């Protein structure tokens, strides 16, 4: 066992420690502008710092949040008193993570499909992020369900890139979170979501194996097996939980350090319920937890935006509550009573 192997295993296990999950606040410039526009806040560097540092300063957040994924701008930011956001997180017991992909771009020759870019120069960027304090990283691939898609080529190109990214992360002593997101957009049913998710995950783990990625030092960020957002009869909580666990059991090797879910457009409590239902099903080969962006931030953002100064603590309380609810769901211990 090398030191690097042990270091990777230790970080990966800390990310999915019992009752803890990840806060995704790594929105790119375009995405954070969209989120701020929706609540009437201008997307300036100062406002982004104010909002994100407000979340990271929440007292007690580290009890439920193991790590937070940052965007390039954020990992370099400091508070007015000179404290870097990274040291703020370290004091709170929250591991700093960094989004390193350069976005999902139109895939040449494949209409309506995307392939994620960002491998060129990644070794050098990872070395710099490690210097800045990053302990883990994230790369998101996007798989779209539609008429005759996803294509095999799209699934394979994204799986290949995810594995190359993961290998570079581990070389740099950074735990890779690999995120092949099967989008919820569309009117597809649960079975279609199952089949596409299974094919995507199987292709990914073949590539991870071929490219010598060590699964004990890797976290999978998965989308749930769920009906399309415009489907007629959307599957209920139990069905989603069972289909998701069944799919993961079929495709994710037991050596994988953990699985965390993205929320992908589910509302806050829905995302919590789904996670809780899975964990109530009993022992799994890997911890099942959360790495939510919108489902952790939605209410907090709205409250903060209404009056960033006056509502600061109120927004923090809302975030802390959602983090605690999801922490309980990660243990299968969430309930309506706790929620209310």
Residues forming contacts to ligand 13P in the complex (CB under 6 A) are 24, 140, 179, 262-264, 292-295
Tell me how far, at minimum, the Cβ of 293 lies from ligand 13P, in Å: 3
Tell me how far, at minimum, the Cβ of 184 lies from ligand 13P, in Å: 9
Nearer to ligand 13P, 226 or 262 (CB): 262
Q: Is 179 a catalytic residue?
A: yes
Tell me how far, at minimum, the Cβ of 263 lies from ligand 13P, in Å: 3
> Which is the catalytic residue, given 221, 239, 299, 337?
221
Nearer to ligand 13P, 79 or 186 (CB): 186
> Which is the catalytic residue, given 20, 179, 238, 339?
179
Distance CA(254)–CA(339), nearest Å, equals: 32
Tell me how far, at minimum, the Cβ of 98 lies from ligand 13P, in Å: 12
Buried b (16+ CB within 10 A) or exposed e, 132-150: ebbbbbbbbbbbbbeeeeb
β partners of residue 158: none
Nearer to ligand 13P, 127 or 269 (CB): 269
Distance CA(29)–CA(312), nearest Å, equals: 23
Residue number of the CB closest to ligand 13P reads 293
Q: Is 221 a catalytic residue?
A: yes
Tell me how far, at minimum, the Cβ of 220 lies from ligand 13P, in Å: 13
Nearer to ligand 13P, 4 or 302 (CB): 302
Nearer to ligand 13P, 23 or 127 (CB): 23
Nearer to ligand 13P, 117 or 307 (CB): 117
Count Cβ atoms within 10 A of the Cβ of residue 283 and give its class: 0-12 exposed, 13-18 middle, 19 or more buried.
exposed
Q: Which residues belong to the active site?
A: 179, 221
């Amino acid at each position: 066992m090398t030191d690097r192997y042990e270091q990777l295993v230790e970080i990966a296990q800390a990310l999915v420690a019992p009752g803890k999950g990840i806060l995704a606040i790594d929105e790119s410039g375009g995405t954070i502008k969209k989120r701020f526009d929706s609540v009437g806040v201008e997307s300036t560097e100062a406002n982004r710092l104010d909002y994100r540092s407000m979340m990271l300063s929440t007292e007690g957040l580290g009890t439920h949040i193991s790590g937070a994924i940052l965007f390039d701008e954020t990992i370099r930011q400091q508070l007015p008193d000179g404290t870097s956001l990274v040291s703020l997180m370290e004091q709170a017991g929250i591991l700093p993570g960094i989004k390193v992909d350069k976005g999902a771009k139109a895939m040449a020759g494949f209409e309506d499909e995307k392939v994620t870019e960002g491998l060129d120069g990644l070794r050098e960027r990872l070395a710099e992020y490690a210097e800045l304090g990053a302990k883990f990283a994230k790369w998101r691939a996007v798989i779209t369900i539609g008429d005759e898609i996803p294509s095999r080529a799209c699934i394979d190109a994204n799986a290949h890139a995810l594995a190359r990214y993961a290998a570079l992360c581990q070389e740099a002593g950074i735990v890779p979170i690999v995120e092949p997101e099967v989008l919820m957009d569309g009117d597809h049913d649960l079975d279609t979501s199952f089949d596409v998710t299974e094919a995507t995950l199987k292709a990914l783990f073949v590539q991870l194996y071929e490219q010598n990625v060590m699964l004990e030092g890797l976290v999978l960020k998965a989308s749930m097996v769920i009906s399309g957002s415009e489907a007629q009869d959307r599957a209920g909580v139990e069905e989603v939980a069972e289909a998701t666990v069944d799919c993961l059991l079929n495709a994710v090797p037991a050596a994988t350090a953990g699985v965390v879910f993205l929320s992908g457009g589910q509302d806050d409590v829905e995302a919590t319920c789904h996670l809780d239902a899975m964990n109530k099903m009993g022992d799994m080969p890997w911890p099942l937890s959360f790495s939510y962006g919108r489902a952790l931030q939605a209410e907090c953002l709205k409250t903060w935006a209404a009056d960033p100064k006056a509502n600061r603590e109120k927004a923090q309380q809302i975030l802390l509550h959602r983090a605690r609810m999801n922490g309980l769901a990660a243990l299968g211990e969430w309930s309506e009573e706790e929620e209310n």
